[in-house]
Amino acid sequence: MSIYKTAVNKPITTVMIFTAIVVMGLYSLTRIPIDLYPELDPPFLSVITTYPGANATDIEQNVTKILEDALNSVDKLKEITSTSSDNLSIITLEFDWEANLDEATNDIRDVIDRTYQFLPEDVERPTIFKFNTNMMPIVFYAVTAKESYPGIERILDEKLINPLNRIEGVGSVGMMGAPKRIVYVEVDPQRLDAYNMSIEQLGAVISAENMNLPSGSIKMGLMDYQLRVQGEFKESAELNHLVVGNFNGKPIYLRDIADVDDREKDISQDEKINGETGLRFFVMKQSGANTVQVAREVQAMLKDLKKTLPPDIEINLILDTSHFIKGSINNLSSTLLYALFFVVLVVLFFLGRWRATFIIVLTIPISLIVSFIYLFVSGNSINVISLTSLSIAIGMVVDDAIVVLENITRHIERGSSPREAAVYATNEVWQSVIITTLVIVAVFFPLTLVGGLTGVMFKQLGWIVTITVITSTFAAITLTPMMAAQLLRLRPVKADRKKSLYERTIEPLLAWLENVYTGTLRWMLKYKAMILIVALLLFGSSLALLKFIGTDFMPQTDESSITLNAELQTGTRVEETMKVARKIESFVFEEFPEIQILATSAGSDDEGSMFSLFQTSGSNVINMTMRLKNPDERAEDVWQVAARLREKIDVIPEIVVYDISTTSGFGGMTGNTVNVEIYGYNIDKTNLIAKNLADRFETIPGAVDVQISRKADKPELQVILDREKIAGHGLNTANVSSQIRNRVSGLTAAMFREEGNEFDIRIRLKEEYRNSITDLENISIVNQMGQRIKLKEIGEVVEYFSPPSIQHKKKERLVTVMVKPENVSLGELANSINASVSEVEVPDDVKIVVGGAFKDQQESFMDLGLLLLLSIVLVFIVMASQFESFIMPFVIMFSIPFAFSGVFYALILTNTTLSIIAGLGAVLLIGIVVKNGIVLIDYINLMRDRDNRLEDAIIMAGKSRLRPVLMTAFTTTLGMLPLALSSGEGSEIWSPMGISVIGGLLFSTLITLVLIPILYAMMAKTGQRDKTGRLRAKFTELE
């Protein structure tokens, strides 16, 4: 018993099965997290090794190089890059996207185990760091305070961070730029010398005094008492009265030789929010948590928590990644609803009957809901890609149901009972319905096989369209006949019946359209060659236009966020950096009303937070995060604002280089830069070439933010000791250097405890005695015998320059010059950069390669091209077996290039660049074009097999198939129209796809209707009548 017969005979079972599917789908929907993109686990692993005291060159030679050589053998490794900087070696291993990172981690661990013994002794064990998109903070808040500022870290820690950490899905909450309290004991070295004491002695005294010690227990009478000595300082001022020694029989108090200063730690980083003192905190989510939900809960909880905070503390949102996600998803969801509405409208327009429309439209939600089950089961999220996939699918899922229902209606109108009509009509068409579905699957299924970043992005699209289309076919041959059997009734034909509105208006219109089309077709069949030449000319001209279309990797999006990263002269002290930061802030406040919140951080946190891994930091660096008003509330888009900002920053003399980026979060993955990599061992030589190239790039129109990855040499002060002299004084390098460190950086003698918190007590020289080379040379070093030796007696202090970091790629030293495009496409920029690079003379030992996002783009286009090929092959296979012919597939295939012409024309007309997304739209066109072609050719074949003349068959088929072809074209075009026209948040991502699909589809529908019949007429001259002739020739003996 066939499936459709069962479905028609058991309507309740059928309804129940589909209800079950819908219920499961809706349940899944409530469980699926919402995100911007499918979860990407970037295939990067870092090996981080610290070697205290070593400079960049030491690290490079003794650590990085050895590890790199060893790590190079790890399986599936794609590329190895490294940065060797002072004290730190970071090696980044890039794997193939399909690689299993757990295995890779184990491999790396093995390699490290083997290699560790060959590293210098003081090197700490290398750690493996796995980067994860979840580590990107999902929300950033700015906190400003006035009176509470000094104690803000504790207040926030207790009242904000701890409660927030308890929210489900929050990975961690971190703070940046909170002031730290330290008790400084700042010593006057002259008095120290006069009393014959040293900083180490002071430290010993303070640490000996700051002590609570249990001293046993005493039994007294009936009781057992604990005995304790309570020596810990209750307040920092007590330190002043500490007796640190004796001189001439009189006690020396600490206040005699030093100032005790209980205050915020010296600034090395300055945080300002909208120009006020403040700090930032951020929330990271756990892996797999729903960004939107976590962000919402954090916001809600913050509202409550704010009430418990002192009134002068203000909390402002700087960055909420969920905001953009929510905006995009909402936009896409409403787009989806519009698409649904349009599809219903089109179906109603062409069928003109409510019940039939209802039966067909019912397949839409069912097919779409099934994709939610897929998303849930595969652990995916609802994101831009999955929703776009649904919008693509929505126009296609009704096609099968329409074919089935049309045939059923035909049978009913011939007088069959609806039930019988449903069974027999479905029997007649179910095979061709499945074939057309196979074509769509042949186009989309290969998407699931593509590798690389493109593959990760489009796997979902492939699966979703495949699944929804298969479901729709299933529904079309079960649910549709069942519903038709239940709902459709034969309309009794009465002669005097008044015609309905539809029959009076739209039906004549469609009939007129059919007549116009068949008339045109008849005319065109007489001028086949001419039409073909015109078509080829159109195709040729579109190819010629191709070079005016820019290419991009991913379309840029306006995320209402700008980050500025500016560097001053290397070695600039933080106070100077702050001044420049204030200058930038002042004009931002005055001239950029679009910017709502501005968080500035100048200098670097010397303790090094995890963030220093991702951003350049240093006392000379300014980082600014700006949040703009929503796109619809401002006149300029984010790129225009960024361009204006660039103009202003260009004229600040202190800023050496800067970088303005308009992406956040995911932007890191798809950075939009062209990187010119200069490989060569000689640092000076490659520096020179990099500088030369950078200067040239600056002059290329459209090139902005030209940056050289290797920072300018950094000035350092080096103490060079005379070994003979220090030996003569009974000293060695170790104790001299530790004494210098204690005097300059400070000696942490003890912890000052207050209300459960600990603060460092740090002893060091007063600032005025340690801020020039002369001061340093006058530092007294105390030897074993208690003698004081000035530093200048045993060595000298010299200034020198060293490279702050050395980068490697593929184990070779390199400098990268990065360039961002402005108002030009990435491809164009890469071309002009290539031209510019070829003009530069390069020595033999230096190699220049152009890469960056441009390389990713090329790789992705290559993947896409391969995909195209795979799809075409599969489609050919399906069609060749469908028609049992090699000619028919070619007739249909011939129309595919014209679909691309349509894409190119549409891109040119709307001034859109060809990105991966637009390219994807082109791929999916193949499916639709081929489907239309099959529908038409199949019918022509049918008419010829029924003994019609070639031309008549073509005209008849054209007349009969005009409606279905137009219907597919209209449902898909109108379904895509909201995508193409949407202008909300994130629309930049998908509107290119809408544009390319609409352009391609309109053009290719025309091609289907015009070119395919003509090609058919030219190529398929033999038909049924020739077969009869051949048959007669075969059986001549019977004549």
| Least distance (Å) between residue 493 CB and other proteins | 11
Judged by beta carbon, residue 284 or residue 888, the one nearer other proteins is: 888
Judged by beta carbon, residue 419 or residue 808, the one nearer other proteins is: 419
Judged by beta carbon, residue 143 or residue 482, the one nearer other proteins is: 482
Binding flag, residue 417, other proteins (CB under 8 A): yes
CA distance 358 to 347: 9
Structural contact between residues 440 and 396, judged by C-beta atoms closer than 8 angstroms = yes
Count of residues that interact with other proteins, criterion CB under 8 A = 17
Binding flag, residue 431, other proteins (CB under 8 A): yes
Among 69, 157, 314, 420, binds other proteins (CB under 8 A): 420
Token reading at 188: 């006057």
Binding flag, residue 809, other proteins (CB under 8 A): no
Judged by beta carbon, residue 412 or residue 806, the one nearer other proteins is: 412
Structural contact between residues 764 and 746, judged by C-beta atoms closer than 8 angstroms = yes
Task: Determine the interface stretch with other proteins among 204-212, 628-636, 844-852, 941-949 (rule: CB under 8 A).
Answer: 941-949
| Least distance (Å) between residue 890 CB and other proteins | 20
Window 625-664: residues binding other proteins (CB under 8 A) = none
Binding flag, residue 427, other proteins (CB under 8 A): yes
Token reading at 838: 């070829």
Strands 757-765 and 181-187: parallel
Q: Buried b / exposed e across 473-489, counting CB within 10 Å, b at 16+?
A: bbbbbbbbbbbbbbebe
Binding flag, residue 421, other proteins (CB under 8 A): yes
780: nearest Cα among 191, 183, 260: 191
Environment class of residue 471 by beta-carbon count within 10 Å: exposed (0-12), middle (13-18) or buried (19+)? buried
| Least distance (Å) between residue 440 CB and other proteins | 20
Strands (E), 131-210: 139-144, 170-176, 181-187
Judged by beta carbon, residue 417 or residue 838, the one nearer other proteins is: 417
Judged by beta carbon, residue 72 or residue 431, the one nearer other proteins is: 431
CA distance 357 to 367: 16
The CA R_g of the chain, rounded to the nearest whole Å, is 38
CA distance 439 to 935: 12
The β-bridge partners of 282 are 140, 174
Among 147, 312, 695, 945, binds other proteins (CB under 8 A): 945
CA distance 12 to 17: 9
Among 148, 240, 416, 885, binds other proteins (CB under 8 A): 416
CA distance 445 to 474: 17
Structural contact between residues 921 and 992, judged by C-beta atoms closer than 8 angstroms = yes
Q: Nearest 10 degrees: CA dihedral of 192, 197, 203, 205? A: -120
Judged by beta carbon, residue 675 or residue 941, the one nearer other proteins is: 941
Judged by beta carbon, residue 493 or residue 651, the one nearer other proteins is: 493
| Least distance (Å) between residue 507 CB and other proteins | 21
Binding flag, residue 424, other proteins (CB under 8 A): yes
Judged by beta carbon, residue 575 or residue 952, the one nearer other proteins is: 952
Strands (E), 111-156: 127-130, 139-144
Binding flag, residue 419, other proteins (CB under 8 A): yes
Judged by beta carbon, residue 167 or residue 942, the one nearer other proteins is: 942
Among 688, 866, 942, 981, binds other proteins (CB under 8 A): 942
Task: Determine the interface stretch with other proteins among 4-12, 179-187, 422-430, 522-530 (rule: CB under 8 A).
Answer: 422-430
Site map 825..864 versus other proteins, x via CB under 8 A? ----------------------------------------
Binding flag, residue 428, other proteins (CB under 8 A): yes
| Least distance (Å) between residue 22 CB and other proteins | 32
Structural contact between residues 138 and 321, judged by C-beta atoms closer than 8 angstroms = yes
CA distance 1003 to 551: 22
Kind plus residue range of the DSSP H or E element containing 438: helix 418-444
Q: Which amino acid is at 519?
A: G
Judged by beta carbon, residue 423 or residue 453, the one nearer other proteins is: 423
Q: Buried b / exposed e across 349-365, counting CB within 10 Å, b at 16+?
A: bbbbbeebbebbbbbbe
| Least distance (Å) between residue 1024 CB and other proteins | 8
Judged by beta carbon, residue 436 or residue 577, the one nearer other proteins is: 436
CA distance 2 to 10: 12
| Least distance (Å) between residue 488 CB and other proteins | 14
Among 303, 946, 949, 1030, binds other proteins (CB under 8 A): 946
Judged by beta carbon, residue 945 or residue 1026, the one nearer other proteins is: 945
Among 133, 148, 333, 432, binds other proteins (CB under 8 A): 432
CA distance 776 to 754: 35
Residues 6+ apart with CB under 8 A from 334: 978
| Least distance (Å) between residue 937 CB and other proteins | 13
Phi, psi angle pair for 761, to nearest 5°: -105, 115
Among 36, 175, 396, 429, binds other proteins (CB under 8 A): 429
Strands (E), 200-265: 212-220, 223-230, 243-247, 250-253, 258-264
Binding flag, residue 787, other proteins (CB under 8 A): no
Structural contact between residues 590 and 557, judged by C-beta atoms closer than 8 angstroms = no
| Least distance (Å) between residue 1031 CB and other proteins | 15
| Least distance (Å) between residue 1014 CB and other proteins | 23
Token reading at 886: 């090699």
164: nearest Cα among 363, 316, 312, 300: 300
Task: Determine the interface stretch with other proteins among 16-24, 70-78, 898-906, 942-950 (rule: CB under 8 A).
Answer: 942-950
Structural contact between residues 695 and 576, judged by C-beta atoms closer than 8 angstroms = no
Judged by beta carbon, residue 496 or residue 884, the one nearer other proteins is: 884
CA distance 1015 to 1013: 6
| Least distance (Å) between residue 412 CB and other proteins | 10
Token reading at 878: 């399906």
Judged by beta carbon, residue 382 or residue 935, the one nearer other proteins is: 935
Window 356-415: residues binding other proteins (CB under 8 A) = 411, 414-415
Task: Determine the interface stretch with other proteins among 122-130, 304-312, 940-948, 1013-1021 (rule: CB under 8 A).
Answer: 940-948
Interface residue list for other proteins (CB under 8 A): 411, 414-417, 419-421, 424, 427-429, 431-432, 942, 945-946
